[in-house]
Amino acid sequence: MLRVMSDTPAIFDAPPVPEVRGALVRRLGARLEPLSDARISEALADTVYTERLRFEDHAGSEEEEARVDRAARAIASGAREAMVAAAEDLVGSYAEEIHNRFSQRTYRAATKLLPRALVNLVSARHPERLLAGDLDPDSRIRIQGAVEQITALTRRGTVIVAPTHLSNLDSPLIGYAIYRCGLPPVAYGAGLNLFSNPAMAFFMSRLGAYTVDRRKQGQLYKDALKDYSVELLRRGVHSLFFPGGTRSRSGQVEKAVKKGLLGTGIQAWQENLAAGRGGDIFVVPMTLSTSLVLEAETLIRDALAREGKARYIIADDEFSQPRTVASFLSRVLNLDESVHLTFSRALDLMGNPVDDEGNSLGPDGRIIDRARYVCDASGTVEPDPQRDRVYTNRLADGIVDAFHRDNVALTTHVAAFSAWQLVQRANPGQDQFRLVRMERSQRVVNRDSLLREIDRVVARLNELEACGRIRTSLPGDAEAILERAVMRFGSFHTRPALEAFRGGGQGQQLRIDPELLLFYRNRLVGYDLERGGEA
């Protein structure tokens, strides 16, 4: 459970823009120096090509288009000096766009306003609860896990928080959780489209967000983002990456994660070791489990439309509508424990667990010296990109394992999983793409059968929880689970995943929305819950 720490966290002030720009340009120069003129031309041409493609869909500013045109002319000239200058100009502009002007004053202002804003959202719809004094967001947002270990590690080094990603609301919720735990603020990348919601843009920018434009696909831009992350970590700025990349379209817990930004941790750590600054860096997986997801309808449709291959960015989902976000938050915060944020035990940059003092632990639980894995006998750091990729792969596997261990099974997940099992058994041989398009008359499940299936699934979840493979937060019996799930599904979505069937004398039937049912069911995929059940 949440315990608010008494210590005031150390708050960073962002370095000035010229300093950030200069750092990223220097890193670019170091990368370009050993390259031939032809390789530099290829790198610059990649950015010119991808940027002009972007301009076809989204017109750039005059400055952007002029900068890309200058890069094209530099390529045509073939002059190394001109091409390097053009690349530096592009990266300098990226640095200014990415950088967040974070400050202690704005952070403190935002953290004072955010709890009040959450209370106001609930009181606007439920004024009686304001009079009753029952408007504490902490009673609806459960924060648990290794909070004390993480707090200790922030005093010993730099922490990278690596959460699961379900919704665009994850960032402000995580920012709130970090504040409530008394942890230092973290810097994190937020998609440019998220800033189209003015209210969320206010809080995100003041809670540590920097800008990521996912429409920019050039390698120069991707390298600039990584370099920015290295600079922050090297300077001791706690950071947050969503290692899964974009939101989970299907609703599943991430089965694999992207390793680009994770790799910046081991780079920053080795740079600090080489400079004699020490500066340990730890990675903290974090799992978000929510009863409802704001963008569920849009996300599952995208997953199905692309047969699991998600679009890189969705710009027009429910998050872009401020009234919809406010309505969702007010309804969700009116539910008991509707959001769970679980901090997992920390890992080092090679995927080893660490103890409360920040020591790396081997398979036998003994302390190991992690520096010797990247240094020679004399203690000098030995650069080895292939070795670092192996370590980052191990770290990624450790994060995914933690995501699944600390996922919290909630009533909506259990009811949806159980109902989907009944749907599959009634339609043998049909894949999910056919099931979501079933005839409306078929979109029902028998209530008694569903209760028996919920009992079976819960029994299996209890076994898994006893082995430390998942967490649960469920009421005592199948009736209570189903009742609460139906109530929660009906509290926001216009087409509830599961609802009481009205009319036609079908009192023992429940109507389903197969798309939403699939989305919420998917949260429990990967736990071997399918076996057994009624024939």
Give how far Cα 261 sits from Cα of 227, 245, 280, 351, Å: 9, 10, 17, 15
Q: Check: pTM over 0.95? Answer yes or no.
A: no
Number of H helices, E strands in the chain: 19, 14
Report the DSSP beta bridge partners of residue 347: 283, 353
Query: In this predicted structure, what is the pLDDT of residue 197?
Result: 66
- Name the nearest CA neighbour of 280 among 288, 270, 289: 270
- Rounded CA Rg of the chain: 25
Give the SS3 label for residue 281.
strand
- In the prediction, which pLDDT does 65 show? 94
pLDDT at res. 446: 94
Per-residue pLDDT of the chain (535 residues; tens, 9 = 90+): 333 333 434 555 667 788 999 999 999 999 999 999 999 999 999 999 999 999 988 888 899 999 999 999 999 999 999 999 999 999 999 999 888 766 666 666 666 666 656 555 444 444 444 444 454 556 678 899 999 999 999 999 999 999 999 988 888 788 878 888 888 888 888 777 667 667 666 666 666 778 888 889 999 999 999 999 999 999 899 999 899 988 899 999 999 999 988 999 999 999 999 998 877 999 999 999 999 888 888 899 888 886 644 443 444 555 555 556 555 555 555 555 568 999 999 999 999 999 999 999 999 999 999 999 999 989 899 999 999 999 999 999 999 999 999 999 999 999 999 999 999 999 998 888 889 988 988 999 999 999 999 999 999 999 999 999 999 999 989 999 999 999 989 888 888 999 986 544 445 899 999 999 999 999 999 999 987 544 3
Token representation of residue 107: 């952070």
pLDDT score at 418: 97
For residue 474, the Cα-to-chain-centroid distance in whole angstroms is 24
Compute how many other C-beta atoms are within 10 angstroms of the C-beta atom of residue 278: 11
For 226, how many CA atoms within 13 A lie in the half-sphere containing its CB?
19
Q: What was the pLDDT predicted at 112?
A: 64
* Cα 481 from Cα 463, distance rounded (Å): 18
Domains defined for the chain, CATH in brackets: 104-405 (3.40.1130), 408-524 (no CATH)
pLDDT reported for residue 528: 92
Q: State the Cα–Cα distance between residues 504 and 16, nearest whole angstrom.
A: 68
Distance CA 136, CA 140 (A): 7
**How confident is the model at residue 185, as a pLDDT?**
84
SS3 288: strand
Residue 235 phi, psi (nearest 5): -90, 5
